[in-house]
Amino acid sequence: MILATWNINSVRLRMPLVEKFCLEYKPDVLCLQETKCRDAEFPSADFRRLGYEHLAINGQKGYHGVCIASRFPIANVVARAFCGMGDSRHVAVTLAGQGRVRQPVTIHNFYVPAGGDEPDVEINPKFGHKLSFLDEMAGWMADENVAATRSVMVGDLNIAPLETDVWNHKALLKIVSHTPVEVARLGKVMASGPWIDIVRQHVDPKEKLYSWWSYRSAEWSKADKGRRLDHIWTSDDLAGKVSQIKIVRDARGWERPSDHVPVIAWFDLES
């Protein structure tokens, strides 16, 4: 199974890029964040034309929104609300155990709040919302044993946890997405599984690795001031079934790109 996650930053606007990506990399399961459209406005016909007959959509007008598009049959679709905000930031499915997926696998797709500009809950409610969201994630995952068996969690988690997940650790310590308080909260989410960061299992943690580059930099590739905000985590029993990962850096240079690029994992689920 080839699984990809991508903050698309408006699925209708960037549907040509989704098609380009799917034709080139042929993911079996594509998890999107920031789709920015209501369920009825989602380009379902375009996905089905590409071979994704099975869709789980949790949309919202103009903001947020997540989707899981699959070539495999899906069941048990769940879209959980967090923090009582009414935002569409989570959707989960179970892939039915058949064909190349011999046993069921549950996939959770998240879009964690960005958190605004100031890492201070007193003056920035968006930052407080982000921390509360992470706390609720951790509590729910621990209480429900979400990662107990054959589970994958993906998405734009809007946190770059390692020093090598940002272009300059010291410069970003007070920048939202890499502050110690956010990294600690994300660590609690990971421990609540416990989850395995399979991207860093395959790429040495000493190596710089990014999945996001700001629109503010015209020469993004040359400046290379990136952050790794997009993640693929697995339950312990699936970590050993990942054979390869790839961050599609080139996608940041496509015409009218998202500021995020796809992250892909190859799973062997035939056993």
pLDDT digit string, tens, across residues 230-258: 999 999 999 999 999 999 999 999 999 99
CA separation (Å) from 129 to 37, 134, 184?
22, 9, 15
CA separation (Å) from 213 to 22, 159, 161, 201?
22, 13, 16, 23
pLDDT of 103? 86
**212 — phi, psi (to 5°)?**
-145, 140
Write the single-letter amino acid at 197: D
Residue with tokens 């729910």: 140
* Mean pLDDT of the 117-145 span: 97
* Mean pLDDT of the 18-25 span: 98
Confidence of residue 99 (pLDDT cuts 50, 70, 90): low
pLDDT one-digit tens code per residue, 167-219 = 999 999 999 999 999 999 999 999 999 999 999 999 999 999 999 999 998 89
Per-residue pLDDT at 141 exceeds 80: yes
Of residues 234, 215, 233, the one with CA closest to residue 223: 215
pLDDT of 98? 67
Please give the tally of structural domains in the chain.
1
Looking at the whole model, is its pTM more than 0.75?
yes
Per-residue pLDDT at 142 exceeds 90: yes
Confidence of residue 55 (pLDDT cuts 50, 70, 90): very high
229 is in which domain, residue-wise?
2-267
Confidence of residue 106 (pLDDT cuts 50, 70, 90): very high
Q: Give the pairing type, strands 242-247 and 263-267.
A: antiparallel
